[in-house]
């Protein structure tokens, strides 16, 4: 990636990046596939892109500040990938997460998994995203339209949320 990075780790089967500038998840996916995957070796790629909304808890949101714990966040994301690698036969996994000031419409997170078959790719991608939401130390502070600020207090459980 060519943008500003707050942390990046790469292993033979996965990569995590914490970035401080807006990123295009589709360009990142294409670039990563070309540099880390072997064409013909995988049959399934599952991806999740989380994007900032302009509303939350019934209020209009104009911006958000995303904070993380340098070092621990990187280690947690890498541990989450390692767990998924142990549980599913993945060719590779990629997590990119934004930090800093972000505005509605911008991507916050990209999670992608490549495998020979769709079941592992789908299941591992979902697992990575839910594990990230519940365990990776990131925090969001919203700016509402009236310029007041508030911390997002907790993430919902994605397996039981509507």
Partner 1 sequence: MSIKVKCFASMREYLDLSELEIEPGGVKNVADVWLQVAGDKPMPDNTLCAVNQTQADHSFIVGDGDEVAFFPPVTGG
Residues near partner 1, by CB under 8 A:
50, 66-69, 71-72, 75, 97, 108-109, 129, 132-141, 151-155
Gap between the Cα atoms of 152 and 139, Å rounded = 7
Buried b (16+ CB within 10 A) or exposed e, 76-90: bbbebbeebbeebeb
Q: Which is nearer to partner 1, 1 or 152 (CB)?
A: 152
The nearer residue to partner 1, 91 or 110, going by C-beta atoms, is: 110
* Rounded least distance, CB 40 to partner 1, Å: 32
> For residues 69 and 38, what is the distance between their CA atoms, to the nearest angstrom?
33
Smaller CB separation from partner 1, 36 or 141: 141
Residue 135 CB, nearest approach to partner 1 (Å):
7
CB of 27 to partner 1, least distance (A): 20
Q: Are 68 and 123 in contact (CB under 8 A)?
A: no
């Amino acid at each position: 990636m060519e943008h500003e990075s707050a942390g990046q780790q790469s292993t033979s089967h996965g990569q995590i990046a914490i970035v401080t500038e807006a990123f295009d998840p589709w360009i990142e996916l294409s670039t990563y596939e070309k540099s880390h995957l072997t064409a013909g070796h995988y049959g399934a790629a599952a991806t999740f892109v989380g994007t900032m909304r302009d509303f939350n808890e019934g209020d209009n949101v104009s911006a958000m500040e995303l904070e993380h714990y340098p070092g621990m966040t990187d280690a947690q994301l890498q541990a989450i990938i390692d767990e998924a690698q142990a549980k599913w036969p993945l060719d590779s996994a990629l997590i990119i997460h934004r930090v800093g000031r972000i505005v509605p419409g911008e991507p916050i997170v990209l999670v992608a998994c490549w495998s020979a078959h769709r079941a592992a790719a789908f299941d591992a991608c979902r697992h990575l995203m839910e594990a990230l939401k519940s365990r990776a130390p990131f925090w969001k502070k919203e700016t509402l339209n009236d310029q007041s600020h508030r911390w997002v207090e907790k993430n919902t459980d994605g397996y039981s949320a509507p």
